[in-house]
Structure formats: structure tokens, C-alpha cells
Amino acid sequence: MRRTPTRLLGRPLGAALAATVMLGLLTAVPESPRTVEAAPAAASESTATVFYYTKTKNWTAHRLHYAPDGGSWTTVPGVVMEAACTDWVKQTVSLGSAAGMAATFNNGSGVWDNNAGRNYALGTGNITVKDGVVAHSDPCADTGTDPGPGGAHTASVYYSTATVGWTTVNLHYRPTGGAWTAVPGVGMEAACTGWVKKSVDLGSATTLQAAFNNGNGVWDNNNGSDYTLSEGLSTVKDRKVTSAAKDPCAAETPDTEAPTAPAKVTADADGIAVVLTWDPSTDDRGVTKYQVTRTGGTRGTMVTDVGSTVFSDTGLEERTAYTYTVRALDAAGNVSAASAAATATTGEKPAAPASGKPLGTDPRKDPIYFVLTARFEDGDTSNNRGGSQHTKSGNAANNDPMFRGDFKGLVNKLDYIKGLGMSAVWITPVVLNRSDYDYHGYHGYDFYEVDSRLESAGASYQDLINAAHAKGMKIYQDVVYNHSSRWGAKGLFTPKAYGVRDTQWSWYYDEKNDGFEYDGLTVEPKSGKSYYNGDLWSTAEPSGNTCVNWGTPTQYTSPEGYRIYNCQWPSPTSGMFPKAYYHNCWIGNWEGEDSRSCWLHDDLADFNTESTPVQNYLIGAYNKYIDMGVDGFRVDTAVHIPRTTWNRRFLPAIQERVTQRFGAGAAKNFFVFGEVAAFVNDKWNRGSVNHSAQFYTWKERKEYSADDGKAALEMYDYEQQQGTGSQPTSTNAFLNGNTYHAPDHSKFSGMNVIDMRMHMNFGDAGNAYSNGKDSDDSYNDATYNVVYVDSHDYGPNKSSERYAGGTDAWAENMSLMWTFRGIPTLYYGSEIEFRAGKKIDCGPGCPLETTGRAYFGGHLAGDVKASDFSKVSSATGAVADTLAKPLVKHVQRLNEIRRAVPALQMGQYSTEGISGSMAYKRRYTDAASGTDSFALVTVSGGATYTGIPNGTYKDAVTGDTRVVTGGTLAVPAPGKGNLRVYVLDLGGRNAAPGKIGTAGAYLK
């Protein structure tokens, strides 16, 4: 999945809102946070001392590269920063008459933090930059407080950060009758989870006036009135002051300090399952879990602890009443005496769903056809949906709803795909999506439900899997572990509300309807117009809101001129998404550690994949699809999850489930291939091993902390320090001379990958070939690499257009893909150069019909029947014309040849003793089946093979027969896009097949 907003948009609010959410703004006070305010104090009027936080960076050196406002940049890489205190480096720079500067940071060796391409805007005085957040304080200043001479009064101020989400908090105050501190005040220190504190000297005063800020212009000043606090211990939480308070960080006793109970428990039965939901406790003592007790039925009382406000109870008895009570627990395990309760009566046990079974064969045998299901073939118009962007995008004018294709259409055209010779179909994600433009499937909302816009009566997802298997074809399901939609993930966490529904926004935020549940297909009945928003709006700040400064007008307006409020769009820094389930930061460096643990985009809420509840939620969801019999997973955004998390949690869970359901053989061939997007032309992604595709094919090579979050950082640090030269290597893809050897998969992680380097270089087949070879020793086994020219994201060289190199170049690319190591993969329509040169995606900014994701069904109209792979027995209408295209014939014959020669499917390769620009030898040997297949291949150009086994060789393209007696075979150039495949005739089951298929425009 590309990491720019253009593919995964769902934003009606425009660029102004983007600025709001990307900066994570709360309430920006325009002039003064109080009635009277001192000007901010600077280190000097012409200097800035810049402090940079080092803990999350694995840098041995730090450089500050800067330009004073209106001035020139320092020479790259900038000036050396010096050690300041633990976890911080600093540099003081002279700004002359400038009031600020633009700045970036780097390690002096090409790794940068440039604020995600925006650079940092810094002022004067003491400035901190920590994890992308700019604040004003000295992190190395003494945080202790001298209460002064005897008789002086002190105040201990505790401030709750639970709702503001600030990483830095300053206390700006004045003792009553005294002077204000210089803006932004004094830094507060961490006290315990959700609290910071500061003790201050009041002198002879017994009270003080105070305001709080994040050091970056965002204030809590009690709505302009400031806070009045007393000596002793005071707490400030949600604008409420408690004087003479108890220490909120002190340990509490179970008998007297247990938290209050949650509220509004509801229990809804669905068959023999009950889903329990409740409002969280509003207690101050840090509720971390809830205790759920169930009574009823014959199984006795059940008591369990739950880490969320949703609990699913399954496998209950039919038609039985159950009562549930919920109590809150704090971090010490204290349980509230009070409880809230609800009762539900179960119904009848639903019929067991149909299940499939994976085909379980070696995935290297199966060329892949990749379709965006919603754009391929429309088998059922009743489930078509245009969504809120239907008119704006221009799709309405083309009568082309974004959700148009479906499983019924795909089932109806499986024979077309089989007729091409393709035996695996990679489909986009099937889970219920939720966004304004979500046809592609990457905005998952309910990971346990199939999107109803794809299913029809008689054409469910299970029906598709079964239909494909009946034709000997596999289904690879695109899966997303990294993120959910901006609406959260149903059953894990969903936000309470996004924005204010007023006269301006009533068109966007619907009237609340407690009886409506989003399913993607059903129109919310009160509004009669929306599928999306019916349960997320409020006219007043909702109970339980955690979003900072909810409903406060910002300085921005929408394209329509409507005022934009805080919290109208999700943000990781807003407090909307709890850290237990979601990461709370933006990516600042795409090749930094934060790229694995921060948000890609504001419409993609980034799961905290190191959290056990999130892991369990995702594992449980994808177990469902494993049980349905899918043959493998294509993993979206795999690079944005630490390798340790894949290797510890998700990949073993997949193997365990497939083994449990279908046996070890099926598990071995359950194909998992990850998108580790590395858009570079070098072997290692800008020198970062952690961000390179091949890195993910390996197990860990040392032990790390038992805590997954800590382990991810430890692994990142260790592997970056080891560097590219100390990474493991493999000979699994290479012949030993002319001999195949058993591959060693003992260090295989369980994840194969898309060959991003070949993809990037497929502007020319020769470049793709040479770049591919150069990386093959760094994969665990490159014969499993998924190889494609273009996709739903990019063309070669990160082009935003579908490949337009011409028919001859396409033929040459395909000839290479189908005979070189790896698994050839074709994006839907490329067999007829569909939408060549068109922009692949522009979100709702243009009609889909004008893009590379246009609807393909017009080319499939009519009937088609395949008698076998690459064999079409009958075709009528437009699909017959499609099947007559030259590249279609080329793909059909390539698949015939590849299917007949095992060496081309699973063989290792070598270029030893071979001249020729794209020439290689391949061999596959399997003693168990008695298979031994040896082939000599040249694409487009001529080649000479020396040191090869003597014997009779037959060309699978022309049928030409050569007898080799001196270990040498010379092959003339076959021409652009053509190839030669000379197969050694070993007799019996390993006899050379001779000419395969019928000559065409290219294979002749």
C-alpha cells in the first residue's frame, strides 16, 4: 500500500483540515493565554539552544542542519550537536536578527529526521524536539525545588495528562501578589501514568494563579480564567481543581480506595453469543481492566477480566437467560464494590458455516492474477454503492459506483482467469471497510465480517473460495495487520464521536440513531442518505470523550467555507485513540524506527501491534479466513510492523492455525507474502536493514526482551548496528554448478515478500533482471519472491501511472517473469495493456473510469469457458475479443510452457558459464517424486552455455532439438519478447516435452 494519501482518501474536509490534524493542534491561543502575559523569554534575542531527544533514534552522532529565517542553510550534514544530559543532545546557534529558523536532524551518515519532509520550524530560546513534537523548555534543567528559608509556603501541583495527550507539560504561575514566570513556565515532571507534577515555592503567599501548556503554544488556562490553587497538594484534571487532595499516584487500599463502577451496561444476544458493552469508569484512580461476571445456564458462574469496554461471550446455551455484572479494577487490582448489570437471552444456535480446504500445493507452481474485486466484474448490481464521494469524484456521471465488482462477478469470470493460465487469484481485502472511499478494502472496520458490498445470495466469500478450488485455483486474501479505519475496529475500539453536528455540518454528521449499525450496504434510515456516519456525532461534548479540546473552533474552514472544529478528524496525538490499542504518533522518518510504530495517514489508525489485545483481535479475525480455506495471505504494509512482532506473534499464529485445521503439509504451502515497500534501486533500502524487503524473510538471530514493544526497539538497534554487511545470506536460490541442492529453510521467518527491487526496475527487463540477481543472496529463498511489473499502487520507478512501455516491452517483461526465479504476478487488465499510461489512482479527485483502477467488466462481457489452464473451449462477445489480444496469447503460452517444465516453477538458477544479457540455467530435483528438470533459458538475446551436461535438449518454444557432446550450446537471439527454453531430455517422466503450444506474435 502506498504511503501517500492519494490512494486511501476519505476526506471531505480538504487541505485545511489536513493542516490541523497533521500538526496535532489543540486550542492555539492567538495572543495571550491569560489576561496579562509576559513576553516569552529567550536565551538571548539572537540565539536558540536546540535540544534533540535521542532515545528513539539509534544514532551514534547527531547533526543539526538549519537555516535562520531569511538566511542560508548550513553545509550538509550541518553542525555537530553535543551531549546535554541523559537522552538529549544540544546545540546553541546564533540567529542574528532572525526570529526563528528551519531545521532538520541527521546522524551524519545519510539518515535524516526532517519532520516528514516539512522540516522543523523553531524559534529562539530553549527549544526541544522530541519524537516530532516541538516544545520550549530546558530538559536538562534541575527539576528540584528549593522551598526557601523557614516559614516559606510550597504548593505541590499535579496535572492530569490523560485527556490532553501532551508529551511535555509546563506550569506557568505566579504566587498571589507576585510576578508571573517567563512563558512558557517551568517544566513539570512525570509522576505516574496519566499525571505530571511540580512543587513550587510560594514565599509568603498561600495561593497561586496558574495555567498549563505543552510548550508549543497550546494552553489549558481554565477557559481564559486561569486556575487558582492553594498551598499543599492540589490536582487539576479536566479543568477541575481539587485542593488538599490525596496524592493521585499513591497506592490505594482495596477496602477504601476501590474505583467506582462503570455505567450503561448493555448485553445483546446474537444466536448463542452475547456482546456486552459499557461506558468506562470515570474514576480518578486509573482503571485498567474490568471484571465481568456471568450467571445463568448450566455451566456455572464465569468471572473474567477484560481490558476494554467490549466483551464477547460465545458458545453459550440456546434460548437461555444470562445476567452479566461489570466492575472496575485499578492498576493494583482493587475491585469496585458497586457494579452495573444487564441481561440477555440467547437464541438458536446458527447453522455451521460452510468451510473449504486450501489446495496445499507448492505456491511456486501458481502464477498469480491480482484483482481489485470491486473494479473487476459486476455480477450483482444490487450491492453496488457509490458512497459519499459518488458525485464529487465524477463517478456518478459515468454511472460507475466505486463498489461495482463483487464476488459473484469474480466467480462468473474465473474461467477467464483460468483461460489465461493463471492458477492463483490475489484479491483485495474482504473485511468490512469504513471510509468515504473504501472500495479498495484497506480501511478495515470490522475484521470479523466480510464486506456485504462484495457478497450476494449464492456468491458469498465462502462460495468464491469453493468455486476457485473446484477449478484448481487458489485464493490469496489481502490482509491488513497494521491499521484500521479512522472509525476504529469494531469489537476492539471505536471512538465515541468525531465532531460537532451544527447547522453547518448536519449534511455530514447524521442525526443519531441508536438502532442503526453500519454494514456498508444499508442506508441509515433517519437521514435516508448515509451509510457511514449515523452513530458518530454530538451537539455537546459526549460523555467519555477523550479528544483534547473537543468541539473548539479552529482557524480553518472546509472547502465549503464551514468552520472546522477540533476532533472532526482522527489524529494520533488528539487523545481519541487509547495507547492500549493504537500508536499515538505520526511517522517522521520513513526509514526510521518510527515508521514501524506511528500513523501513516490520518485515515488509517495505526494499531499498537505490540499490544496483546490487538494481537488477539487480529489473530482471531484472520483465523476465520484460514478456516474458510484460503490458500494464503498477501500482507499489506508489512514493513510498518516490527519484524519481532511478525516472528513472535502473527506468523506463528498463522502456521499454528493452518496446521491445526489442515495439517503440516498445508501449513508448509500456505503462502504468506508481504508488502515491504522499498522504493529504491539499491540492494538495501537507503542502508536501513530494518526497512528492506529481504530482512523480513529471516527469523530473529538473538533473544530480546519478553515485552514486545521493548523487543522491537532492541531488535531495531541491534540490526541497524550490525548493518548491511553482517546480515545473513543464503544459497537457496542458486544451483551448485549444474546441480540442485536441498534448500535450508531453518532460518525462514514464514514470510515471503514482493520483489520490490525488480518491480522498481521493470521499465526495462534487463534492468529488472540484473537488479533482481544482485539481491538474491540476501533473501532466505528468492524462488518464492512475488514478481510484478505494476500494481494498484505504482508502476516501475515508483511511477504513478500504469506501465506504458509498449507491447513489445510487455512481452519481454512477461517472458522474463515466467522463466526466471520467483512467482509471476499480473495486475488485472495488463494482458491487454488496460489503461496504459493512466494515473493509477487519484482518490475521489477524479472519476475512477479515467484511472488505472477503472472497471474492467466491459472487456469481459459475454460467456467464457475454460477446459484447462491456458485452454479456452468457448468464448462469446467482448470477452472473446479480449482473449484474442496478442499479449493474452503470449501469457497463455508462457503459462503452458512454465506448467510443463518444473525447473521454471521451482528451480534454482545459475549464470555460471553463460554469456548473454538475460540468460540462465535452472534445475529442480525432487527424489520423492522422481522429478529432475533442467532447462536453459535466454530472453530476447542470444546466449552461449558452457560446462552444461551432455545430452539431447529440446526447445519448448520451437521444438528445435540439439545434441550436446562437448558441454557447450550456442543459441541465436530469438528477438524482442521471444525466448528459448532448451530442456534436457532425461527420459521417462523427465523427458523433454518438445514444442509446447502454438506460435504467436512473440513466442515463435
- In the β-sheet with 232-237, what is the strand arrangement from edge to edge? 189-192, 195-203, 153-160, 232-237, 240-242
- 1004, three cell numbers: 515463435
User: Is beta strand 671-674 parallel, antiparallel or unpaired with respect to 752-753?
Assistant: parallel
| pLDDT tens digits, one per residue of 564-611 | 888 888 889 989 999 999 999 999 888 788 888 899 988 899 999 999
Q: What pLDDT shows up at residue 79?
A: 92
Q: In 3-state terms, what secondary structure has residue 51?
A: strand
The more confident residue out of 297 and 604 is: 604
Single out the residue of 132, 186, 137 nearest to residue 159, CA to CA. Answer: 186
Q: Is the pLDDT of residue 352 over 80?
A: no
What are the residues whose beta carbons fall under 8 Å from the beta carbon of 824, sequence distance 6 or more?
367, 368, 787, 788, 814, 817, 818, 894, 898
> Is the model's pLDDT at 705 over the cut of 70?
yes
Instruction: Read off the pLDDT of each residue in 65-72 and give the average, rounded to a whole number.
Output: 88
Q: How confident is the model over 359-376, as a mean pLDDT?
A: 98
Percent of the chain's residues with pLDDT above 90: 58
The lowest-confidence range among 117-131, 373-387, 737-751 is: 117-131
Give me the pLDDT at residue 906, please: 98
CA distances (Å), origin 870, targets 131, 419, 452, 465, 786: 54, 4, 32, 21, 21
Per-residue pLDDT at 256: 44
Q: pLDDT tens for residues 833-853? A: 999 999 999 999 999 999 999
Do 559 and 547 contact (CB within 8 A), yes or no? no
Which segment of 177-191, 231-245, 722-736 scores lowest on mean pLDDT? Answer: 177-191
Q: Which residue has the higher pLDDT, 525 or 577?
A: 577
pLDDT higher than threshold 90 for residue 773: yes
pTM: 0.70
At a CB cut-off of 8 Å and minimum separation 6, what does 969 contact?
Answer: 936, 944, 945, 948, 953, 962, 982
The mean of the pLDDT values for the chain is 87
Distance CA 161, CA 622 (A): 35
* C-alpha closest to that of 635 among 465, 445, 428, 447: 428
Residue 731: Cβ within 10 Å count? 14
Q: What local confidence, expressed as pLDDT, does residue 558 receive?
A: 84
pLDDT of residue 627: 96
Predicted local distance difference test score (pLDDT) of residue 351 = 56
CB neighbour class for 109 (10 Å; exposed up to 12, middle 13-18, buried from 19): exposed
Give pLDDT, residue 143: 41
* Residue 1: predicted pLDDT: 54
CA distances from 880 to 417, 860, 867, 870, 877 (A): 13, 8, 15, 14, 6
